[in-house]
Amino acid sequence: MIPTIHRDPKANRLRFGFHSKMIILILTCGAISGGRVAASAQDLKPSPAADIARYRGSDRAQRLLAGAKKEGRLVWYTSLTGGPDKEVPAAFEAKYPGVKVETYRGSSEDLVAKIVAENQARRPVADTLEGTLPLLKLMRDYNWLLPFSSPLLDNYPDDAKEPAQGKLFLWASTRESFIGLAYNKTAVADRFIPKTYEGLLNPNLKGKIAFTTTDTGARVIGAVLNLKGEEFINKLKTQDIALHAMSARALLDLVIAGEVGLSPSVFQSHALVSIAKGAPIGWIPMDVVPTNSGAAAIIAVTPHPHAALLFVDFLVSAEGQKVLEKFALSSPFKDYGFKRWYPEKGLTTEQHEKESSRWETLLRDLGKK
């Protein structure tokens, strides 16, 4: 028997592969003609940005600032919302007067559709991009990113930057969000709160565990599969897992209300905001913590290369990270005392799509009797 899947009317449907969505958008924009991409970065006039992007001289910062002041502006495409999309540009402009940031904020689908259309028209607009890794991997696949270097990345964690040839990088993580276990302190006794995925099998938790069926839930299944194997996931079926087709934030509200005892598919940032408001919940990391990353990159045909590089430097700097942390976005620099797991790490776009589909299938199967 397959259980009823509870749906939030405002929630996204079950995840349709990101790569598939992007291909449809590319086709819709008319970017594929005669069996090939008509406007990849290779088709466009070479950008003079390559030289300054790889420059490592001692006067690099001065050269970037002087060039940025001459350019006067940059265009930043981002999927950030809720404050950092405004405060990051404001902080950058305060530090570098005379360099204006024009921000376009949209979903990953919005951003790639806009970039495709601009590349097809051979009128590039965007200079920098801050988005999630599936989007950036797609951009990489079409050669739409400019490899760059920065001394600020020398001490960056290897998992937080994407290498390119010649000791350059295609992007660097700027913010991370962690998925872990949220529990209602009244609905679940302290002695039964699981500290590991193995603890989810405690018979006292039967009927109290829920997952979101969005890609957040699928990523948790990916982490469990990577750590414990498929046999363990099959054991979870005995726990009468509830599946909720709603966002992780909406599912947390059910935990707060006591309608759900606990869920291992809740973002730490959401939980911390609610705890600060007095919600009767706790949040803990599990054995490994599925980590969503947002990263900064430079568009291959950036019209304002000096300003673009200066802006990416700012995003990965301590100053830029401090602005992002104001919005409960965690820094890739810091050790938070748990082991991160990056679902996209080491996978091509197509490989990640295949793995994601497998995780989604296993997640749906959790509810089958």
* Whether pLDDT at 64 is above 60: yes
Pairwise pLDDT comparison (97 vs 159), residue with the higher score: 97
User: For residues 237 and 265, what is the distance between their CA atoms, to the nearest angstrom?
Assistant: 16
Other beta carbons within 10 Å of 174? 27
* Whether pLDDT at 155 is above 60: yes
* Whether pLDDT at 96 is above 90: yes
pLDDT digits (tens, 9 = 90+) for 14-57: 333 445 555 545 544 444 443 344 444 444 444 567 899 999 99
Q: Which fold has domain 18-176+292-340?
A: D-Maltodextrin-Binding Protein; domain 2 (3.40.190)
Q: pTM here?
A: 0.76
- Tell me if 169 sits within 8 A of 148, measured CB to CB: yes
Reference 270, options 178, 186, 334; nearest CA is 178
243 strand-pairing partners: 211
Torsion (CA) 141, 147, 153, 155 in degrees, nearest 10: 70
The amino acid that residue 116 corresponds to is: V
Q: What is the pLDDT of residue 369?
A: 60
Q: What is the pLDDT of residue 118?
A: 86
Binned at pLDDT 50, 70 and 90, residue 284 comes out as: very high
User: For residues 186 and 231, what is the distance between their CA atoms, to the nearest angstrom?
Assistant: 31
User: For residues 86 and 323, what is the distance between their CA atoms, to the nearest angstrom?
Assistant: 10
* Whether pLDDT at 89 is above 80: yes
User: For residues 272 and 266, what is the distance between their CA atoms, to the nearest angstrom?
Assistant: 11
Question: 242: helix, coil or strand?
Answer: strand
Pairing of strands 242-245, 210-212: parallel
Domain with CATH 3.40.190.10 in the chain: 6-15+178-291+354-365, 18-176+292-340
Q: Which residues contact 338 (CB under 8 A, 6 or more apart)?
A: 178, 285, 288, 289
User: For residues 298 and 169, what is the distance between their CA atoms, to the nearest angstrom?
Assistant: 10
Q: What is the pLDDT of residue 179?
A: 96
CATH 3.40.190.10 fits 6-15+178-291+354-365, yes or no: yes
- DSSP 8-state class, residue 80: -
User: For residues 16 and 214, what is the distance between their CA atoms, to the nearest angstrom?
Assistant: 10
Binned at pLDDT 50, 70 and 90, residue 227 comes out as: very high
pLDDT digits (tens, 9 = 90+) for 312-366: 999 999 999 999 998 888 998 888 999 999 998 888 888 888 999 999 999 999 9
pLDDT digits (tens, 9 = 90+) for 237-278: 999 999 999 989 999 999 999 999 999 999 998 999 899 999
Rg (the chain; Cα; Å): 22
* Whether pLDDT at 8 is above 80: no
pLDDT digits (tens, 9 = 90+) for 168-186: 999 999 999 999 999 999 9
* Whether pLDDT at 233 is above 60: yes
Reference 167, options 158, 176, 175, 178; nearest CA is 158
